[in-house]
Structure 1
Amino acid sequence: MAPPLLHLDGIRLTFGGTPLLDGASLSAMPGERIALVGRNGSGKSTLLKIAAGFIEPQDGEVFRQPSATIRYLPQTPDMEGFDTVRAYVEAGLGPADDPHRVTYLLDHLGLTGEEHPSSLSGGEARRASLARVLAPRPDILLLDEPTNHLDLSTIEWLEEELARSPSAIVLISHDRRFLERVSRATVWLDRGRTLRLDKGFAHFEEWRDQVLEEEEREQHKLGRQIVREEHWLRYGVTARRKRNMRRLGELQAMRQDFRTHRRAEGLANMAASDAAESGKLVIEAKDIAKSYGERPIVRSFSTRINRGDRIGLVGANGAGKTTLLKLLTGELAPDTGTVRLGVNLEIATLDQKREAVDPRETLAHYLTDGRGETVIVNGEEKHVVSWMKDFLFKAEQARTPVRELSGGERARLILARVLSRPSNLLVLDEPTNDLDMETLDLLQELVASFAGTVILVSHDRDFLDRTVTSTVAPNGDGTWTEYAGGYTDMLAQRGGRKLDDRRAAARTAPAAKSVAEPRGQPRQPARKLSYKQKFALETLPKRMEEAVARIGVVEQQLADPGLYRRDPNAFADATALLDKARAELAAMEDEWLELEMLREEVEG
């Protein structure tokens, strides 16, 4: 049997108090796909950093095969010292790596490579760091939350890219669907120790529940055995003193095991503070439109949202989801059309930026707005510490500054504040970011059972499928369509056609370019189309369909996970052909869009 590429055993690390890692293990063989899962704060990222060599454990064995190349994706990339994204990505290549792969990855991740790192958004920075670790095709890929800040189409592309990768992969993610599709084994980090399941994440939760149930049974048996031994010591028939002392020692050891056993952390107890019932009509939008410059974000969109509806907004980054959300809730006025809000609305909002929080503010002060020691939940006073415990915070954290919280703890804190406010309309923009699986489960139950109305923006396909009653998706030209059901239902109604941010970007590129045209130089309206332009308008749709079909054939060929091992040259040829076909399709889409806009201008 071949030796592992990576092997960690008996890893111990503590930062004072309870050990963070207490005998943890992790091993990766060539080509393995491992999901590393656990609660927020359980030490997953720390274990991954130890595997990458960025942190030294206090005890334990760390083995990395000397010839193996390792690439680590951190949650927050450091791009300091690089003038362009391309320079940052190319710095991750080795001497024998293919530099053309950088262009391929940047193109598929929606970057030109000429961007300055300081100007990148969170999503763009995540795409750039992904390109850097994927470009060299390393032996081991260590990915910490690779889907954070990515839109749905990019997440689905990343799934396909990882499926084709020959690398061994260890990844941390809160995206269930992503883990199910990528992983083939699961390592559970719980209370400092690891347990391994040689099956993908789809089988993890059932297995975890069985492990916890067995643990509870063992603890119950130990407790009853202690009671029996104590009874024997007090009332049993006196035997030889030596034997009694031995049993007394065993009893003390059992007591110690029982006292020091680290029980599984409890679940959050999320509940929204209900307001009075709203009217049956919550929001009615008629033919609303919004543009920035000449770029249409929303075009002639109408919907009627009634009490109890749960609406999900999906789409690529920059498609306009947050703009549409603000239009529907009255925060932003439409250019044309009308939005009517129902009566008795009490709105609680969780925005994408998680609202400004003073990092010096304590948890208790933040939750109460500095007004005493209580919060009002469903009309009743509740001590702030009790409310904190419902969201898995400890009593001693009441005076902890916000700056000391992890990303997941901070997300839970903001949810605790939002949900304490009386509401009958929940507006949630990316509510699942940074939440662990257990907290996601409870947020899902809260949204699904909320008595009022919910409008949410999310890239989490599993969360959408489990919560929303209808899904609103963009068509790429400012128009939006509402579909019954969740994300999977939406795809079925679109005939399996997925959301594609690259095509949306191609469609909006000319409009974005026109916004940047200097003032004082208005574009002169065209008087008529040439014969060549008319012919192109008629023939381009068919040519685009043929290009899509060719791309599908090549993508199916590349989906074969064994192609790279069998014939690296064929894999390289197919990849180059796919790049060329996609570039040709993008060029045709650009040409068609420009001609279509020209035709509308002439006819208008």
Structure 2
Amino acid sequence: MNYLTVENISKSYGELELFSDLSFSIHKDDKIAFVAKNGSGKTSILNILSGADTPDSGQIVMRNGLRISFLSQSPQFDQNLTINDTIFNSDSPQLKIIENYEKALQHPENTEAYQKAFEQMDIHNAWEFELQFKQILSQLKLDNLNQKISTMSGGQIKRLALAQALISNPDLLVLDEPTNHLDLEMIEWLEHYFAKAQFTLFMVTHDRYFLERVCNEIIELDHGKLYTYKGNYSYYLENKEARIAQEQVETGKAKQLFKKELEWMRRQPKARTTKSKSRIDDFSDIKKRAHQRRNDHKVELEINMERLGSKIVEFHKVSKSFKDKVILDGFEYVFKKGERIGIIGKNGTGKSTFLNMLTDNLKPDSGKIVIGDTVKFGYYTQGGITIKPQQKVIEVIKEFGEFIPLTKGRQISAKQLLERFLFDGKKQHDYVEKLSGGEQKRLYLCTVLIQNPNFLILDEPTNDLDIVTLNILEEFLLDFPGCLLVVSHDRYFMDKIVDHLFVFKGEGEVQDFPGNYSDYRTYEASTPTEPKVAEDTSKVSEEKAKDYKAEKLSYNEQKEYKNLESKIRALELDKKALEEKFNDTTLSQEKINELSLQLQGIIDNIEEKEMRWFELSEKFES
């Protein structure tokens, strides 16, 4: 089933043409990744698909009634609303029903309104949907539904936007870098969710494991042309290489034919027969194909690293806390030459705090950090480049000098250096604020590396960089002779360049694991705790029991039985959320009484549903 067709769209900003005459289609159940270099117009295409922008020419033809949800890189919400208000600010009929039910729960004394809301949940089968959306909020760590948007961090806002997009249950989900600002656990959950769910996706992402495990089609914009690959990331890499090789063969054949035809043209045939006229007309096409070249310029990374002494960085019983939150507790470590360490852990466990202490931007509470005399840090932060109003790209680099030293006594001009980072003469005189997000990150990487560090610290370096630049950065880092410390949620990147991990587990615990990220996940999976084994066994037994009972129930009883399970789980979540409200020490007695009534109403409802569930469970047992 065709959902959407893009017909010959073009987009320019002033003299800059992003793309022209692009056409492709999106069908039901497609999971498409859109791949292109930074600055090619990926975000513009997503904005056009979502209706947030319009093409200069061409059109988007959509199926009638198609519901599209768009996750942008920088989502905007009403600062005065809460998370709960934002979630329910939707056209989804099921969300409206759930919202009415949630309101009815707040006023259990109004039995008529509660009964009506409860019946609507039944009629529209909204129990499973309510359970699903509460699980999404829980997985994305959006637990405080009364938190105002104005108090949320950028990462929390991105997660809220992702939750809103998923919960709205659209026909087509358009995503711009969905894994940015998610920790590794969330990324893996989302990856599994998309791989299993019946979503139609069109996304831009640099996460190559995500591309490998979720997508069934990749559309690449390369040198102004679209190429479609009906497969995942591995299939794309293999077939792109074959396509380029074939293009080179065809260009070689065209060159030979061009030489032959050029000789014929130089003889200036006098006979203007129909055949010769046709041959003359074809000559211009042959010439064009013969002179076709791939403009495959790549970022060139090179630094003049200063010598690293025997003493690098030493942590001696370092502790750090923020009020009751412990980040480090007597942490000890001595960095060695050539170490390549990855840092992983859930958001909020102190990874960025650790980096700030390492670079002397934050002092420890106790213990000491000793830094060797020869150490020169290069710190690539999440914040990126500081944009000065009306500052041009070339001016950013000239702040470090007109000429930049390279290895073996060589030097290059600021202009030449920028060309190595894919900023041509025209782009060098653009204002920094006009660059795409990926181009700004590439420029920032340039400013970090030209300072010739011997201890590189990279905090989320892969965000917004295109896949081509990522591959080049990885190759550079593999040959980098200094120390390397990386915080990244890009599992592919971590697997490729790090030798061991600092795993931040929270409460001051840091595990030094000998291996990369995939090694760690394999290790975790192979060492389950005893309670987990017991829990899994009970789940298997429970599932078998369900199947056995289902065989003995009529069709209507099976349906009721299944609905009761969903209702009970949803009510248990309501109960838990309400119980947590009692932790607020500022509650008045009147509010406590009101909450107690609501809680009792939910408990009674659960007991009623459980009784019926047991009746059906035991009805046909011998």
2:93 aligns to what SS in structure 1?
A: coil
Superposition deviation, residue 469 in structure 1: 0.9
Deviation at 1:51, TM superposition (A): 2.0
State the partner residue of 2:135: 104
Cα distance change on mapping 1:143 and 1:54 into 2, 3 Å:
same
Pairing 1:452–2:450 present: no
Bigger mean CA offset, 178-187 vs 428-437: 178-187
Q: Which moved more, 1:100-109 or 1:319-328?
A: 100-109
Confirm or deny: 8 A CA contact 1:90 1:102 kept in the other structure. Answer: no
Q: Alignment partner of 1:395: what SS?
A: coil
2:459 matched to 1:423?
Answer: no
| 1:193 correspondence with 2:225 | yes
SS state of the match for residue 291, structure 1?
Answer: strand
Specify the alignment match of 1:146 in structure 2. 178
> Following superposition of structure 1 onto structure 2, how do residues 378-527 of structure 1 map, counting pairs within 5 Å?
378=407, 379-495=409-525
CA contact (8 A) 1:8 1:61 kept: yes
Give the SS at the match of 1:96.
helix
Tell me the residue number matched to 2:305.
274
Instruction: Provide the rounded CA distance (Å) in 1 between the counterparts of 2:69 and 2:94.
Output: 15
SS in 2 for 1:314: strand
2:226 counterpart of 1:209: no
Provide the residue aligned with 1:132 in structure 2: 164
Asked if the contact 1:350/1:427 (under 8 Å) is kept, the reply is: yes
Counterpart pick for 2:405 among 376, 379, 384: 376
**Alpha-carbon distance in structure 1 between the residues aligned to 2:559 and 2:372:** 62
Letter in 2 for 1:425: F
Partner of 2:87: 89
**Count of aligned residue pairs for this structure pair:** 533
Q: How far 1:368 sits from its partner (Å)?
A: 1.9
Residue among 365, 371, 378 paired with 1:335: 365
Tell me the CA shift for residue 40 of structure 1: 1.2
Q: Which has the larger radius of gyration?
A: 2
Is the partner of 2:312 in helix, strand or coil? strand
Equivalent residue letter for 1:14? S
What amino acid is aligned across from residue 404 of structure 2 in structure 1? V
Residue aligned with 1:475, SS: strand
Aligned counterparts of 1:206 and 1:571: Cα–Cα separation in 2: 47
Question: What are the equivalent positions in structure 2 for 1:112-131 lying under 5 Å apart?
Answer: 112-131=144-163
2:349 matches 1:351: no
Using the alignment, how far apart are the partners of 1:347 and 1:579 within structure 2?
53
Kindly indicate whether residue 261 of structure 2 is the aligned counterpart of residue 232 of structure 1: no
Contact 2:385–2:440, Cα closer than 8 Å, also in 1? no
- What corresponds to 1:56 in structure 2? 54
CA contact (8 A) 2:68 2:172 kept: yes
Name the stretch that deviates more: 250-259 or 349-358.
Answer: 250-259
Provide the C-alpha distance between the structure 2 equivalents of 1:222 and 1:572, rounded to a whole number of angstroms: 70
The answer as to 2:188 corresponding to 1:156 is yes
Query: Using the alignment, how far apart are the partners of 2:290 and 2:312 within structure 1?
Result: 54
8 A contact 1:137–1:166 mirrored in 2: no
> What are the residue-to-residue correspondences of 1:72-83 with 2, within 5 Å?
72-80=70-78, 82-83=80-81
Residue 313 of structure 2 is aligned to residue 251 of structure 1: no
Distance in 2 separating the partners of 1:422 and 1:364: 19
9-18 vs 213-222, greater mean Cα deviation: 9-18
Counterpart CA distance in 2 for 1:409 and 1:80 is 29
Q: Single out whichever of 448-457 and 195-204 deviates more from structure 2.
A: 195-204
Given the superposition, is the C-alpha separation of residues 344 and 87 from structure 1 closer, same or farther in structure 2, using an over 3 Å criterion? Answer: same
Aligned-pair CA distance for 1:258: 5.3
Q: Is the 8 A contact 2:6 2:24 kept in 1?
A: yes
SS of the counterpart of 2:238?
A: helix
The change in CA–CA distance for 1:205 and 1:570 in structure 2 (over 3 A counts) is farther
Query: AA paired with 1:376?
Result: P
SS in 1 for 2:353: helix
Q: Is the 8 A contact 1:272 1:446 kept in 2?
A: no
Deviates more, 1:46-55 or 1:452-461: 46-55
Question: d(CA) in 1 for partners of 2:396 and 2:35?
Answer: 30
Cα drift, residue 190 of structure 1: 2.1
- Structure 1 residues 431 and 231: alpha-carbon distance in aligned structure 2, compared to 1, 3 A threshold: same
Deviations 1:161-191 (Å, cap 9, x if unpaired)?
Answer: 2234222111110111112121111111223
Deviation, 1:257, is 5.1
| 2:286 equivalent to 1:288 | no
Summarize deviations over 1:11-40 as a string: whole Å, max 9, x none.
333335564333323322222211111111
Does the CA-based 8 Å contact 2:401-2:414 persist in structure 1?
Answer: no
For residue 146 of structure 1, give the secondary structure of its aligned residue in structure 2. Answer: coil
What is the aligned partner in structure 2 of residue 594 from structure 1? none
Mapped contact 2:312–2:374 kept (Cα < 8 A): no
The Cα shift of 1:143 comes to 0.9
Change (3 A) 1:160 1:573: farther
Q: CA deviation at 1:411?
A: 0.3
Q: Distance in 2 between matches of 1:442 and 1:451?
A: 16
Alignment TM-score, normalising by the size of structure 1: 0.80
Alpha carbons of structure 1 residues 547 and 322: separation in structure 2 relative to 1, 3 Å? same
Residue 9 of structure 1 contacts residue 26 of structure 1 at CA under 8 Å; is this kept in 2? yes
Mapped partners of 1:283, 1:579: distance in 2 = 53
| Partner amino acid, structure 2, of 1:469 | D
Taking only the aligned residue pairs, the percentage that are identical comes to 28
Relative to 1, partners in 2 of residues 1:584 and 1:81: Cα closer, same or farther, differing over 3 Å? closer
Q: Is the 8 A contact 2:30 2:200 kept in 1?
A: yes
Shift, 1:333, TM fit = 2.9
AA of the residue aligned to 2:236: F
Aligned counterpart, 1:11: 9
Measured in 1, the distance between the counterparts of 2:197 and 2:527 equals 24
TM-score (norm. length: structure 2):
0.78
> 2:19–2:224: 8 Å Cα contact kept in structure 1?
yes
Gaps of 5+ in 2: 99-129, 545-557, 584-622
Whole-Å separation in 1 of the counterparts to 2:505 and 2:342: 15
Letter in 2 for 1:137: N
Change (3 A) 1:191 1:448: same
Cα gap change, 1:485 to 1:281, in 2 (>3 Å): farther
Name the structure 2 match of 1:42. Answer: 40
What are the ranges of 5 or more consecutive residues in structure 1 without an aligned counterpart?
499-540, 557-565, 592-604
Cα pair distance change 1:362/1:579, threshold 3 Å: farther
AA of the residue aligned to 1:122: G
Where do 1:502-581 residues align within 5 Å?
Answer: 573=565, 577=569
1:310-354: per-residue Cα shift (whole Å, max 9, x none)? 111111111100112233344433222332323411221111212
| Counterpart Cα distance in 1 of 2:145 and 2:293 | 49
Deviations 1:404-431 (A, max 9, x none): 1000000000111111112211111111
- Between the aligned partners of 1:446 and 1:568, the Cα distance in structure 2 is 60
Q: 1:10 to 1:433 in 2, by over 3 A?
A: same
Superposition RMSD in Å:
3.4
- Hey, what's the Cα distance between the residues in 2 that align with 1:93 and 1:569? 30
Aligned-partner SS, 1:11? strand
Query: Secondary structure of 2:180's match?
Result: coil
Q: Is the 8 A contact 2:39 2:435 kept in 1?
A: no
**Distance in 2 of aligned mates of 1:270 and 1:583:** 56
Distance in 2 separating the partners of 1:123 and 1:553: 40
Q: Structure 1's 493 and 66: CA in aligned 2 closer, same or farther, altered over 3 A? A: same
| Worse overlay, 264-273 or 439-448 | 264-273
CA distance in 1, matches of 2:293, 2:61: 29
Q: Is the 8 A contact 1:43 1:189 kept in 2?
A: no
